[in-house]
Amino acid sequence: MTGWQMLLYKEVLRFWKVGFQTVAAPVLTAALYLLIFGHVLQGRVQVYEGVDYVAFLVPGLVMMSVLQNAFANSSSSMVQSKIMGSLVFLLLTPLSHRAWFVAYVGASVLRGLMVGLGVFVITLAFAPPQFAAPLWSLVFVVLGAALLATLGLIAGLWADKFDQMATFQNFIIVPLTFLSGVFYSIQSLPPFWRAVSHLNPFFYMVDGFRYGFFGQSDTSPWFSLGIVGGAWLLVSGLALHLLRTGYKLRS
């Protein structure tokens, strides 16, 4: 293997060795959300014509699981390496900042997609699969996972302990994820909160992913793609700059 491939392999093994915690547990959590919300609101809420609420909920839960786990993987890996002191062994290697970026983000995307696939398989017992435009779903799930993995890498570089990382996740990532239209359509919100929702980049990931299932969405999938793609390019540039300059890595 080349350097970046070995680092990618190491990062995949890191979460796979504790797969019950990193993959199975998030799948179970999403299944509980589906059971609770589906049981309470099924038959009472219909967002799209011909789509029941449980089916509407499926892509939102899949995407939420992908995003949260992609972020958690890269951020926890970086912080754990700092705390345990194993980061120094990576710093001694001739790996470039681009190799670090590809390995950390790649492993996190893989974990996010594995969790998302697990959630989707579980939901097959509750709602038949629908794919009006599957390519759109694939594009948004990969791009969304890459964006959150990159954000997780930035958070991991910034944080010096798990408390700081938890602050980033609990006060930024989790609220933005839950307020992105996972459990509802923003068209049901009052005008003010609907406008606020359009400022949330997570909304465009969920909405674009859901378009691939039903061929219906709250905004144009092309516009959502532009927002998500632009956001990923922006945070990727920042992450590569921080890695290149050794931000909080060499001190």
pLDDT exceeds 90 at position 240: yes
SS3 102: helix
DSSP H helices in the chain: 3-16, 19, 25-41, 53-84, 87-91, 97-123, 134-158, 162-168, 174-178, 191-197, 201-214, 221-245
| Predicted TM-score (pTM) of this structure | 0.92
Instruction: Note the pLDDT tens digit of each residue in 116-166.
Output: 999 999 988 888 888 889 999 999 999 999 999 999 999 999 998 888 888
Contact 232, 146 (CB under 8 A): yes
Alpha carbon 193 to chain centroid, angstroms = 23
Type of residue found at 181: G
Neighbour count for residue 183 (Cβ, 10 Å): 17
Type of residue found at 245: T
